[in-house]
Structure 1
Amino acid sequence: MDSPKLPIHLRITQDPHDRSGHLRADDGWVEKAWSEETTRVLVVAGNRVEPEGETGVRWRTPDSSPEGIRLLLGDTADGARFAVLTGREEAGATWRDLRGLFPALLADTTEASFLMHAIGMAEWHRATRFCARCGGALMPRAAGHELACAEGHLTFPRTDPAVIMLVTSGEPGTAEERCLLGNHTRWPAPNFSTLAGFVEPGESLDDAVRREVAEEVGVRVGQVDYFGNQPWPLPASLMLGFFARATSTEITVDEDEIREARWFTRAELAAVAESGEIKLPSGISISRSLVEAWYGGELPGSW
């Protein structure tokens, strides 16, 4: 059961499915599982899934599923679970991408785990067509979790680490303490969120936090404290959340990624969220969890 005491981003990852990785290379088991009446299949067309009801997704039987890459998601007490990865043209008008499936992620934590797995792998297959070593075409193996070229070079799924941080200044826990939120140039003006960026090669997570904050808003950061993490297959990120203590407070936005950045006390944040002057990220994101953990409770509105 979901617990209201858990940060919101953890509510969709607290019940991960058994991925049954040891069965992926057992072609006999995989073929037999595909023929079982209890097996269920999630069709992913490009990066879209067919909804069922207000908060569900449609699971098909193998014989009602289209052709495509078969991806073993795992084995359960109720039968094997697969995804079939097909082209975007197979999606119907009502099919949804991961953002459109947020209600389903909150409604069933096990289903959320399957969805994150399936859509993350679908994004990897869409983006990975040729061998990075020889340029040859790639074919799936290991129940869709590896790709191999004719030369035998193997390609494995990748996840890009990204830091996401709530920067704070002032005496912790006081009415004067403030947090820093920014509006990205790709977003509508009311949409504000925590800062974020990808980790570069040879860089520690703490240094990535400090670099990204300095680059985007010109603020210097000292202490960095780990908060938590969240898979974010849009298309292939692992979001690593942090609180970061500012050692300077003057804002100079880069104007390339950040259009505007502002400091908010808790009272100011509650007021602008309530009035709709700013909108905070969706309820399932680790960004929302960071903001509400600092604020000390739930805040209204989202985008």
Structure 2
Amino acid sequence: MSVSAPALPTSVPCVIVEGMKPLPPVKPMSLARHGIDRDHLSRGQDGDLRELWASGASPVFEHRGSLLVAAGGLFSTEPGMVPGKQTEIYLGRDADGNRYIGVSLDDAGRSELDTALSTSRARDATDLLTAPGEGIDSSEPVWLPLRQLAESLDDVQVSLACEIVGLGNWHRAHQFSPRTGRATHPTLGGWVRTDPDNGSEHFPRTDPAVIVLIINTDDEGIERVLLGNNAAWEADRYSLLAGFVEPGETLERAVIREVYEEAHVEVENPRYLGSQPWPFPCSLMLGFSAEAPSLEFAADEAELATLTWFTRDELRAAIEHGKVRAPGLVSIAGQLLYSWLDNI
């Protein structure tokens, strides 16, 4: 049965409802840090990166969303060790002028590189991560997934990692032209795929999605946040409500529609708070707060197992006693939630 969202005013003011405490600026998010000049003028017109390799560019290796790392962060090699017939993408240069080429490996390419490096650690070696921000506890190269690795990388490395993971996902999923079904090949330094028969070009895509900090303020000024447990998650895992922006839709409209579809809550005054790339596989998460005038809700059982309102004290206690597993700080959901939780 379809659900109609409440009508959206022609003009949507981004203001804070009286009684709701203004949120402090969102802290820099792990995947939103910036340290690379993408240097688009150096990409060239085709997929041949030999001149960039000859200039001393360093490879950044990716395989199905995991990155080759060691103590110090991203692990690089001499260009001569890069396996052949892999997808190569010019990622840009850092402030010192060092250039980087992303190498998205297929299974055969990863096996070849692992053999060349004499590494048997071809796995997601998350046990080698130290505390967030303190680095990687391995002197030998290992493969680690980006979302678990991000807080251990510096600004330059996390910029490179987001680029190569997002572009690697895109290249794997778009090897054939949606117009003709023919195989395409990388051009423009790996940033375009071109049909060699008719010359049509296909570009990387980013899917915008809104994620919403839903707040209710009662008559005594006590705030509550609405968190949901996805039907596919463990019972103690909670997060903010989120959903993709649909064609022909504003971001504010998407906030109101998504919250109503998932929770039957009619929120007001959506306010933009910040954004973060989420290349799993190709999202851009756009963070909002919104005010819920009442505590009434009805969860969409196809998507949500449960919905719960929490005061700050209730949520802190639930997290402390292991009853609620909140989103990690690598995600914008965690950043928005803890920003509210600490805003006393």
Q: TM-score, normalised by structure 2?
A: 0.78
Which residue number in structure 1 is paired with residue 315 of structure 2? 269
Residues 290 and 136 of structure 1: CA distance in aligned 2, closer, same or farther (over 3 Å): same
Is residue 32–residue 275 contact of structure 2 (8 Å, CA) maintained in 1? no
Which residue number in structure 1 is paired with residue 335 of structure 2? 289
Instruction: State the one-letter code of the partner of 1:251.
Output: F
Which residue number in structure 2 is paired with residue 301 of structure 1? none
Encode CA deviations 1:233-270: one digit per residue, 9 max, x unaligned.
Answer: 00000000000111332121111111111001111111
Residues 294 and 114 of structure 1: CA distance in aligned 2, closer, same or farther (over 3 Å): same
1:15 corresponds to 2:61: no
Q: Structure 1 residue aligned with 2:251, among 194, 205, 208?
A: 205
Q: Structure 2 residue aligned with 1:164, among 211, 218, 229?
A: 211
Encode CA deviations 1:256-300: one digit per residue, 9 max, x unaligned.
Answer: 1111110011111111111111011111211111112212269xx
Residues 255 and 28 of structure 1: CA distance in aligned 2, closer, same or farther (over 3 Å): closer
Is residue 58–residue 99 contact of structure 2 (8 Å, CA) maintained in 1? yes
| CA-CA distance at 1:135 after TM superposition | 1.8
Distance 2:251 2:295 in 1: 22
Is residue 89–residue 101 contact of structure 2 (8 Å, CA) maintained in 1? yes
Which residue number in structure 2 is paired with residue 41 of structure 1? 59
| CA-CA distance at 1:231 after TM superposition | 0.5
* SS of the residue 1:243 aligns to: strand
Residues 126 and 173 of structure 1: CA distance in aligned 2, closer, same or farther (over 3 Å): farther
Q: Which has the larger radius of gyration?
A: 2
- The one of the two structures with greater contact order (alpha-carbon pairs below 8 A, sep at least 6) is 2
Which residue number in structure 2 is paired with residue 24 of structure 1? 43
Is residue 23–residue 30 contact of structure 1 (8 Å, CA) maintained in 2? no
Instruction: State the one-letter code of the partner of 2:73.
Output: G
Unpaired runs of 5+ in structure 2?
Answer: 1-23, 112-121, 126-142
1:258 corresponds to 2:258: no
1:103 corresponds to 2:156: no
Is residue 43–residue 50 contact of structure 1 (8 Å, CA) maintained in 2? yes
Which residue number in structure 1 is paired with residue 14 of structure 2? none
Which residue number in structure 2 is paired with residue 152 of structure 1? 199
Which residue number in structure 2 is paired with residue 62 of structure 1? 79
Unpaired runs of 5+ in structure 1?
Answer: 299-303
Distance 1:119 1:173 in 2: 47
Is residue 46–residue 187 contact of structure 2 (8 Å, CA) maintained in 1? no
Distance 1:205 1:82 in 2: 34
